[in-house]
């Protein structure tokens, strides 16, 4: 969905969705989009003219109204552009590292990237011998994917036709935070996986140290672009409810530039976009063996404490 996760990790550049708009964008009208709890949730913060609440049941942080059709049109009308399809060179090696362990799941040989955008994961998966499938809404990304010989379907994930129960791996990176109804998409992916297949998803972590220190001044809280932010408990609870079997969640990445940013209301010079600072940090950390070791050690600690900025979900469909 975006060009990178909150700490500059590889992610799709494009979109899995055509945003679906609730008939009632009134403040306070939205139930928890994770567990569907209707009891009014405690106040978490405010940003962009929206109120954020933390569900008292599953702890998901979400805006209390769905953006209007006009707000979505203004945002997504220019969201997908040909210049968004560029991928920093250092991310290719990182993508190879991410995808290599999925070889253990290879049975049908089918690999699906939902909202693949620039196609980095599909490019690497193809080189690793996978049969590559992709879903997109952005016309430029669809054209580019078909030219590369991938099997591409165009349209919202909930509307397109894909062979159910056949995919060894489904990637779903940096999309969950954008969705009006995230439950429907995770349910659809469950049925696309073969029994024993794995979902790999990434999304920002509302329990991250950055969120704890800065609340909604963290640049992840950007409605109407992002309208909910999961944490390990809320995402694990949702996946269990949908029938996923083994569920592993890592919380990795910390961008010091985010901690140094002044609050949005304080004015001052324009700040770099979160992807830019995240990419720059990751490129430095991937530049040498000692720095890569430092990164791995830091990520292990961030996962142990649950304080990393990016949630990385591995969830399998049970073998029946």
* Closest C-alpha to 180, from 261, 73, 62: 62
* Closest C-alpha to 255, from 209, 286, 191, 303: 209
Q: What is the pLDDT of residues 85-140, one digit of tens each?
A: 667 777 888 899 999 999 999 999 999 999 998 899 999 999 999 999 999 988 88
Domains in the chain: boundaries: 43-316
DSSP label of 37:
-
The angle formed by the CA atoms of residues 138, 159 and 223, to the nearest 5 degrees, is: 55
Distance in Å from the first CA to the final CA of the chain: 32
Coil, helix or strand for 72?
Answer: helix
User: How much is the average pLDDT of 225-233?
Assistant: 96
Provide the pairing of β-strand 50-54 with 43-47: antiparallel
pLDDT of residue 269: 39
User: How much is the average pLDDT of 209-215?
Assistant: 95
Model's pTM, two decimal places?
0.87
Q: What is the pLDDT of residues 22-58, one digit of tens each?
A: 545 677 789 999 999 988 889 999 999 999 999 999 9
Reply yes or no on whether the pLDDT at 245 is more than 80: yes
Q: What is the pLDDT of residues 254-295, one digit of tens each?
A: 888 888 777 654 443 334 455 555 555 556 556 567 767 777
Query: Alpha-carbon torsion 5, 185, 247, 306, what sign?
Result: positive
Reply yes or no on whether the pLDDT at 148 is more than 60: yes
pLDDT of residue 117: 87
Reported confidence tier of residue 13, pLDDT bands at 50, 70, 90: very low
Lowest model confidence (mean pLDDT) among 2-16, 77-91, 201-215, 231-245: 2-16
User: How much is the average pLDDT of 294-304?
Assistant: 87
- Lateral strand order in the sheet of 310-316: 151-154, 131-136, 110-114, 167-173, 193-204, 310-316, 247-252
pLDDT of residue 190: 98
Distance in angstroms (rounded) separating the CA atoms of residues 219 and 6: 9
Q: Could you give the maximum distance between any two Cα atoms of the chain, in Å?
A: 58
CATH topology of domain 43-316: Rossmann fold (3.40.50)
Reported confidence tier of residue 160, pLDDT bands at 50, 70, 90: very high
């Amino acid at each position: 969905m975006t060009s990178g996760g909150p700490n500059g990790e590889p992610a799709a550049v494009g979109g899995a969705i055509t945003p679906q708009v609730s008939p009632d964008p009134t403040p306070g009208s939205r139930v928890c989009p994770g567990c569907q709890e209707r009891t009014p949730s405690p106040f978490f913060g405010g940003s962009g003219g929206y109120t954020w609440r933390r569900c008292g049941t599953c702890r998901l942080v979400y805006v209390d109204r769905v953006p209007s059709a006009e707000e979505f049109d203004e945002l997504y009308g220019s969201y997908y552009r040909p210049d968004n399809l560029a991928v920093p060179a250092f991310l290719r090696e990182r993508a190879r590292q991410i995808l290599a362990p999925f070889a253990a799941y290879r049975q049908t040989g089918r690999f699906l990237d939902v909202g693949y955008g620039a196609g980095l994961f599909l490019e690497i998966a193809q080189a690793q011998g996978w049969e590559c499938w992709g879903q997109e809404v952005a016309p430029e990304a669809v054209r580019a994917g078909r030219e590369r010989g991938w099997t591409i379907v165009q349209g919202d994930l909930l509307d397109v036709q894909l062979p159910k129960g056949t995919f060894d791996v489904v990637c779903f990176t940096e999309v969950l935070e954008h969705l009006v109804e995230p439950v429907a998409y995770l349910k659809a992916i469950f049925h696309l996986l073969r029994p024993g297949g794995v979902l790999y998803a990434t999304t920002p972590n509302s329990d991250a140290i950055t969120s704890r220190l800065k609340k909604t001044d963290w640049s992840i809280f950007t409605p109407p672009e992002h309208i909910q932010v999961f944490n390990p408990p809320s995402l694990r609870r949702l996946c269990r409810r949908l029938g996923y079997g083994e569920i592993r969640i890592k919380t990795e990445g910390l961008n010091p530039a985010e901690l140094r940013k002044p609050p949005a209301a304080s004015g001052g010079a324009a700040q770099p976009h979160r992807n830019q600072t995240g990419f720059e940090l990751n490129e430095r950390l991937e530049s040498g063996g000692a720095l890569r070791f430092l990164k791995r050690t830091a990520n292990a600690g961030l996962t142990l404490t649950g304080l990393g900025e990016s949630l990385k979900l591995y969830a399998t469909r049970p073998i029946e």
